[in-house]
Amino acid sequence: MLLRILKLVLGSILGITTLAVGVLAVAILVTWPRLPSLDILTDYRPKIPLRVYAADGALIGEFGEERRSFSRIHDVPPLMRQALLSAEDERFYQHGGVDYVGVLRAALGNIVSGHTRSGASTITMQVAKNFFLSSEKTFSRKFNEALLAFKIEHTLSKDQILELYLNQIYLGQRAYGFSAASQAYFGKPLNELSVAQFAMLAGLPKAPSSYNPVANPERARLRQLYVLRRMHELGHISTAQLEAAKAEPLGLAKPARDTGVPAQFVAEMVRQDMYQKYKDAAYTEGFRVYTTIDSRNQRWAFDSLRAGLMDYDRRLGYRGPESFVDLGAISEDRDEALDEALSSIRDSGELEPGVVLSASPSEVKVYLRGSRFATVKGPGLSFARRALSSKLTPAQQIRPGAVVRIQPNPKGYWEIAQMPEVEGAFVSMDPRTGAIKSLVGGFDFNRRSFNHVTQAWRQPGSTFKPFVYSAGLDRGFTASTLINDAPLSIDPASIGGQRWEPKNDDNRYAGLISMRRALALSKNMVSIRILQAIGTDYGQQYAQRFGFSAKNNPAYLTMALGAGLVTPLQMAEGYSVFANGGYRTRAYFIDRIEDLNGRVIARTAPAVAGQGATQVIDPRNAFITSSLLRDVIRFGTANRAMSLGRSDLAGKTGTTNDFRDAWFAGFSPNLVAVTWVGYDQPRSLGRFGYGGTAALPIWTNYMANALKGQPEVELPPPEGIVVRPGAGLRGGDEYYMEEFQRTNPELQINNRGSVPGAAKPAEEEAAVPVAPPDAAQDAVENVKELLF
């Protein structure tokens, strides 16, 4: 009987086994042909984000839904691979895709625990799931996963499979792959991580959200210790390494702030340009875009603009707290509640938002996100001291619950500050090529992404006058031509509206005055009379040579005072014509585009001044106009720039009607820079809103860094220029040779283009032939300036 029962049981088992094998064989035969092609694995193309770099290789921007950095298997540190295999698949190099030992171990563990604790998925099976299958927990999905694992193992080598896994797996923080995760969590590449950090990353694939060290540090720590223990048990690390790793602080990277190269506006310009060219592929194909931006110049421009806007804003006084938090409504977990209240308020550089916990005239205690505290007292309260008065309304007071901005002072203490309401723009470029060296489109990209360099159409004011003067030179005026600086009344028909009675900014009039001196002092009447003489239509057409459209600069006399519309970038291109000898160069910001493999697929080939760029004005005109603009700095409205101690700087201040826009545009022979200050919704900047007080300091601070250590450049006069010495206290003037010969036939010109006597010392200048009447009048005006 027992024998019969045994035979029956064995027969049943054999029958069931045969049936199961048959069913399995049929399932495999039916399913195998339907398995997806492995082309996606054999020709792996991960979604690599668009990365934007400065000219010197510094990363300035990254765009894409997924953070990825592809790494070849041989570039991944061995300890990283061992940590991963210890945590996920210790028998990876022994099994054929499905680890039967691991399956039995997992099954026993699940039976003993009474619930599912492990699915026994190998790395190959995880690759199959990540690339081809969903995450649903069904038998059919698991069956397909196993078959795909076999197929993958027969198609790819073990190292190829592991390489796919290392680059494709999601690890939290938008990071895909271990190279991207290394940057996301620790802010450095894989080959710089420690054993403890390798173990932390290796613990993430099991459950990135649960073991994320940023969101769940305690659970992440437990998972890290498990990985370290397995690495030790498998002989990958020694006992000493284990103990050192367990004791090591994790060293997570700090949350991203305004670090690195502050070029968000440039990065956004690149993103828009790349999307226009490549559409959605721009974010997935791993393009690397190298810009013309110099990272040092960009930092100087960024710091100068922010410092200038902050300085201007401080002159207007403290406006009061940004908002208020009801501290009385917080019953428990105060820090968490305050962090929540501050979560929607972004830092801006060193300007941190905080909630006032207590306030008195001598001390203010502030809570900063992340359970940090700051005490502001003494000189740190100076700017906002008035807001500590009990006489103000509650909405104006710094009191408990007030949200304020504080920043560290260079002297080592905290001070109360505020986000300026005023905006600004700064751009610098190489006048020979048009390559943009720095560009800052506003105070803070995160507050307002509107790019004032390229998108803000504003009135240029007096910064437009050099183009009118250049047109005058083209029509026969000279730098010494005398023009009447006197009030005038303009007929309505001349300006397309009602009668216009313009005035000089200071309401002072000099009478007959040379063009050179008039530009230095920014005399409005002289600019208008020059434009009257040459004709508004000609002036408009001439301005188009510099890139200013007729549509935005109507042919009225108001154009002489910069009543049209320009962008700061247009202004930089326009001034480049004077700096480079008369050539029209176009600004550009992308040097080259590389694909994922480093192959250059596009490169900008700019038209260079003297090498393909169109010559739009006579080189002599550019030289004389530049000379006039140097006098604006030496003797005129931009005299503060003389603090740089250089004689090769030229430029022009600009202030529009009612102080709505403040400008300074200037250059050295090798660098043009333009800055603008104003409100987004145009309104008066007030008594501090002159170009020379609001915009010029920003330009000067930038140039102090950009030109540091560079020798002064004195450009020789171009052929056809006559240099007349002794014409006034400023050392003479420059003329077109034919014009000078026509008006001064009695004077001789040497082969260097100079009137004899140019090299004589100052005490012998009396021996120089008498200057023409225009130049003599200029000398009289110079004496008046010095005496009065």
361 burial (CB, 10 Å; 0-12 / 13-18 / 19+) is exposed
Closest among 543, 547, 553 to 570, alpha carbons compared: 547
Looking only at the bridges linking them, the beta strands covering 733-736 and 583-584 are unpaired
Q: Quote the DSSP letter at residue 168.
A: H
Q: Which of 69, 71, 86, 88 is catalytic?
A: 88
Identify the active-site residue in 462, 480, 576, 668.
Answer: 462
Q: Which two tokens stand for residue 558?
A: 């108001």
From 445, 438, 691, 697, select the one nearest 572 (Cα to Cα): 438
Q: Rounded to an integer, what distance in angstroms lies between the CA atom of residue 365 and that of residue 387?
A: 15
Element (H, E) at 583: strand 583-584
- Tokens 């206290």 belong to residue: 729
Residues whose CB falls within 8 Å of the CB of residue 46, separated by 6 or more in sequence, listed in order:
68, 70, 167, 168, 176, 177, 286
Give the number of other Cβ atoms within 10 Å of residue 210's Cβ.
14
Per the CB < 8 A criterion, the answer to whether 601 and 286 are in contact is: no
Length of the chain: 788
Query: What is the number of other CB atoms lying within 10 angstroms of the CB of residue 749?
Result: 17
CA atoms within 13 A on the CB side of 668: 23
Let me know if 232 is exposed, middle or buried by CB neighbors in 10 A (0-12, 13-18, 19+).
middle
The region, left, alpha or beta by phi > 0 then psi within -120 to 50, assigned to residue 761 is beta
How does DSSP assign 391-429, residue by residue?
TS-TTTS--TTEEEEEEE-TTS-EEEE---S-EEEEEEE
Using only C-alpha atoms, the chain has a radius of gyration, in whole angstroms, of: 36
Q: 629 near 574, Cβ under 8 Å?
A: no
CA gap 335, 372 in Å, rounded = 9
- Amino acid at the residue 290: Y
Burial 166-193 (b: 16+ CB within 10 A, else e): bbbbbbbbebbbbbbbbbbbbeeebeeb
Helical residues (DSSP H) of 598-667, grouped into ranges: 619-635
Residue 593: closest CA among 58, 47, 50, 49: 50
Strand partners, 754: 723
Integer Cα distance of 348 and 444 in angstroms: 7
Residue 135 among the catalytic residues: no
- Alpha carbons 643 and 178: distance in angstroms, whole number: 52
Told to judge if 449 belongs to the known catalytic residues of this protein, a careful annotator would answer no
Pair 345, 445: CB distance under 8 Å: no
Q: Which segments of 156-194 does DSSP mark as H helices, in order? A: 158-168, 178-186
Burial class (CB in 10 A: 0-12, 13-18, 19+), 139: exposed
Residue 137 has phi, psi (to 5 degrees) of -95, 80
Please choose, from the candidates 516, 515, 478, the residue with its C-alpha nearest in 3D space to the C-alpha of residue 736. Answer: 478
The answer to whether 653 and 692 have CB atoms below 8 angstroms apart is yes
3-state class of 750 per DSSP?
coil
The answer to whether the beta carbons of residues 285 and 75 sit under 8 Å apart is no
Residues annotated as part of the active site: 88, 462
